[in-house]
Chain A
Amino acid sequence: MIEVKSLYKSFAEIKAVKDVSFTANNGQVTGLLGPNGAGKSTTLRILYGLLTQDSGSALVDDIDIKSDRLGAQQKIGVLPDSHGLYIRLTAREHIYYFGRLHKFDEDKLESQTNELIKLLDMQSIADRRVEGFSQGERMKVCLARSLVHNPPNVLLDEPTNGLDVMTTRTVREIIEELKTKNIAVLFSSHLMHEVSRLCDHIVIVSEGSIVASGTTDEIRAAAGEDNLEDAFVKLVEGGVN
């Protein structure tokens, strides 16, 4: 479970995150929805321990990230904003590297990796060096290395950005699968239709603040619009005004 309570974060003059609070429960998919530059990535980066908030708290399974970064990081699997890979390592070696850094049991590492490779349908590329991989193939490597240690919480920063239909579908299937394992999934997106399709709980952010949250029905009701996309636009523009 991930709990965020009145989080604030500024960079120099810019207030990137203002009073953001929400909870991502186990067995639920929570969507962080907002236009580009709304503060989604900053919020996630605080949650996975790369940035430190100015005030407020962020807890992962009741572990405070600010005071016990490593403890909290052990409990999360992250697909971050940057999908950088080591061009001279194979897909499998990437998964091993991150599994070991998470202190995953060395004896089970190989079978765990094989399972992930099968799950993500990447048998044919598993032992190739990642140099020259397509965007979709790279994304699969990133996903596999973030899930190798069986994290009880999964954070995905714009997971379907720039992917083709086939890979997007795989990512969706993975998210559904994680949900059934009682994992708390938090993902960010600027695509309304994707969020509405996958999420049990939606948090809409605009200019660093939350403008609405709830189920799709609750969001539609709050905006007084039948169409979710219209609701989104109305809420975000309302936030701006």
Chain B
Amino acid sequence: MHPVSIVLGKEIRDAARDRRALLTAFLFPVLSPLLVYFMMTAIIELQTDADKMTIPIIGGEHAPALIQWLKEQDVHLEKFSGDAKQAVKDKDKELVVIIPDDFQQRFGELKTVPVEVVSDGSRTDSQPKVRRVHELLRQYNQEIGALRLIARGVSPDVTRVVVSQHVDVASKEQRAATALNFIPMYIILAAFVAGMGIAVDSTAGERERKTLEPLFINPVERYQIVTGKWLAATLFSAIGMALTLVLCVAAMGQVPLAQIGLQFHIGNGQMLSMLLATLPLAFLATSMQLLLGIFAKSFKDAQSYIGLLVLLPMAPSMYMMFNPFMTREWMFAIPMLGQHLLLVDVLGAKEVPLIGYFYSAASCLLLGMALVLITARLFQRESILSG
């Protein structure tokens, strides 16, 4: 047997018996799809809620025509009495519409009537409803305004200087993919989370339990020992990623995306592409953790360093969410960003250039190998055994 496979076999056996490490490794892949499912379902519910909603209204009796019009738009109205602002503040009501007593009078005199929409700007969940109410009132305003102009022999177009028209070039799948931006993020995160326990245990843990000295007395090169540990951690990391991916996609299949006009379908081919696109990241993630594990004096010490490392994979995803940009081929070569781009493209059913797969895999593997060599060099220092 080759020394690398001996070390690999031992580390896998050791890790498979470490319940705590297994739990932290695989809790994330199991929990993240659940999170995806509940988040997406909640978002969709909010949006569909806004379409068939009930509006609390004060003074509805002063504007029967408006009330009638709103009912025609499929809006349910409920009479509200009391302090509107307090009710919204107390979160009893998401919003309250107040129609003034002199609505009819001002309407008849062709004066502008102020209709108040009381809402709480700090509540994100009520925003779609508030927007919809404003939109409805604007629409009513336009209709009545147009009628008044026509009655005076003026074309309503006089007041409509420009009309904006919505032209969306994104396909339904692509729009779905932007909504799913966090799936790539979870998968990239899984690479770091799932391999962490074993990477730390086989470096800082060995050091803490004083097993490094007996291990180094064996006639085996240090780089072979590190490589065995690297591959073992990578295996766990890759399993974590694959699990996260498969479960997230399965969870997305259960989300009623069609209700918000989005489409989501992942075939086996796409699934395979995504695995190919992301698995090389496992090699890089664990090599970083091994290197940090060497620097740490103890398991706890290492965990706090590596906890910070987890923020790293979030960076490209976060950046893309707030600064969308055009993908260029060289971007695939940037670890983590490359995987993110590949995932977004595959999820969006876009054609991915083959070179993209090559760049992203090669950069991860090369960088990972470089870090493992550095780790092996550090393993060779005499001071590794002291303190």
Chain A residues at the B interface, C-beta cutoff of 8 Å: 48-52, 69-71, 73-74, 76, 78, 80-89, 93, 97-98, 100-103, 106, 129, 142, 145-146
Among B148-182, those with CB < 8 Å from A are none
- Select one of A84, A101, A145 contacting B213, CB under 8 A: A84
Known: A50-B385, A51-B382, A101-B6. A84 touches B211 (CB 8 A): yes
Bound-state Cα–Cα, A71 to B221, Å: 11
Contact B210 A82 (CB under 8 A): yes
Whole-angstrom distance from the CB of A61 to the nearest CB of chain B?
13
Bound-state Cα–Cα, A51 to B380, Å: 10
Among the interface residues B17, B211, B217, which one has the most CB atoms of the partner chain A within 10 A?
B217
Contact A84 B214 (CB under 8 A): yes
Bound-state Cα–Cα, A146 to B218, Å: 9
Which residues on the A side are within 8 Å of B18 (C-beta)?
88
Among the interface residues B212, B213, B382, B385, which one has the most CB atoms of the partner chain A within 10 A?
B213
Which residue from chain A places its CB closest to the CB of B214 in the assembled complex?
A80
Contact A97 B6 (CB under 8 A): yes
Contact B216 A50 (CB under 8 A): yes
Sampled A-B contacts (23; CB under 8 Å): A49-B217, A50-B213, A50-B216, A50-B382, A52-B382, A69-B219, A70-B221, A78-B214, A80-B214, A81-B213, A82-B211, A83-B214, A84-B206, A84-B212, A84-B213, A85-B209, A86-B10, A89-B10, A97-B6, A97-B10, A98-B218, A101-B7, A101-B219
Which residues on the B side are within 8 Å of A145 (C-beta)?
214
Contact B218 A102 (CB under 8 A): yes
Contact B210 A83 (CB under 8 A): yes
B220 touches A (CB below 8 Å) = yes
B3 touches A (CB below 8 Å) = yes
- Select one of A52, A82, A93, A100 contacting B214, CB under 8 A: A82
Which residues on the A side are within 8 Å of B213 (C-beta)?
50, 80-82, 84
Known: A50-B382, A84-B209. A101 touches B218 (CB 8 A): yes
Which residues on the B side are within 8 Å of A70 (C-beta)?
219-221
Which residues on the A side are within 8 Å of B1 (C-beta)?
100, 106
Whole-angstrom distance from the CB of B159 to the nearest CB of chain A?
78
Q: A78-B217, A86-B14, A89-B10 are in contact. List 15 more A-B contacts (CB 8 A).
A: A48-B217, A69-B219, A70-B219, A80-B217, A84-B209, A84-B210, A85-B211, A87-B209, A98-B218, A100-B6, A101-B219, A101-B220, A102-B218, A102-B219, A103-B219
Bound-state Cα–Cα, A168 to B234, Å: 43
B134 touches A (CB below 8 Å) = no
Which residue from chain A places its CB closest to the CB of B383 in the assembled complex?
A11
- Select one of A73, A93, A97, A103 contacting B217, CB under 8 A: A73
Bound-state Cα–Cα, A173 to B213, Å: 25
Contact B382 A89 (CB under 8 A): no
B13 touches A (CB below 8 Å) = yes
Which residue from chain B places its CB closest to the CB of A49 in the assembled complex?
B217
Known: A50-B385, A97-B6, A101-B3. A86 touches B211 (CB 8 A): yes
